[in-house]
A and B are shown apart, each in its own frame.
Chain A
Amino acid sequence: MIETVLQFLGDTAPIVGAVLAVAGAFFTLVGTIGVLRFPDFYTRLHGASVTDTAGASLLIIGMALMAPHWLVATKLAAIWLFLFLTSPTATHAIANAAYVAGLQPRTGPGARSSEDGEAT
């Protein structure tokens, strides 16, 4: 009984992993569309950073389910840990640098007139 369950899990894990990988890639694509189309620097930053963690986590979990060997899964876990630590840090550094340099966020409903404030 338990062997058949394990066999079933071993057979379905790669398929589930592939589906998760496709979902993560889709989230990543949606985030990049947001980076291209959002009106303001800070909103673009939001779109990029959120999908950098969510999409990357989904992709890496999916790849780990497809891993042929435990060493591959360990490497994937290392990559995931590193991305999870550095991606928000880099996003914070970029936002901080832009804010210190005087880039103003676009606020209010009628903020069309101010083109993306050029940093001096």
Chain B
Amino acid sequence: MNTLLSVATLFLMLGLGLLLTRALIGPTLYDRVLAVNSFGTKIVLLLGLLGFVMGRPDFLDIALLYALINFVSTIAILKFFRYRSFQVSLARKTDAGGEG
């Protein structure tokens, strides 16, 4: 059973490497944001799996915290690159004001 879990961990780490490659070579900004967001999700899963491999499921607390931070940071990054500022309300603009 532990061997199977190690195989799963290896798969996840390979996927993390591929995502890092995409984040480094990504031609557009959004490719990089996508890669980093997906990287965060994989890190959450990897933390849980490592907790089981090492016999310390307390790692799940860290995984939960990482999932929360990952979502908020993705939205924050997207908002910053859209408005170039964090001081703008996220409410939908009217068309009269032009596209932000």
Residues of A within 8 A of B (CB): 14-15, 18-19, 21-22, 24-26, 28-29, 31-33, 35-36, 41, 44-45, 48, 52, 55-56, 59-60, 63, 66-69, 72, 75-76, 78-79, 82-83, 86-87, 89-91, 93-94, 97-98, 100-101, 103, 115-119
**B41:A52 contact, CB within 8 angstroms:** yes
Counting from the closest, the 3 A-B pairs by CB-CB distance are A32-B15, A25-B11, A25-B8
Instruction: Give the interface SS of chain A, mostly helix, strand, loop or mixed.
Output: helix
Of A36, A41, A72, which one neighbours B21 at CB under 8 angstroms? A36
**B19:A100 contact, CB within 8 angstroms:** no
**A25:B7 contact, CB within 8 angstroms:** yes
Of B8, B16, B52, B78, which one neighbours A97 at CB under 8 angstroms? B78
**A76:B37 contact, CB within 8 angstroms:** no
Instruction: Give the interface SS of chain B, mostly helix, strand, loop or mixed.
Output: helix
Of B1, B21, B75, which one neighbours A15 at CB under 8 angstroms? B1
Chain B positions within 8 Å of A19 at CB level: 4
- Contacts known (A25-B11, A52-B38, A75-B60); A86 close to B48, Cβ less than 8 A: no
- Contacts known (A31-B15, A36-B18, A103-B28); A97 close to B64, Cβ less than 8 A: no
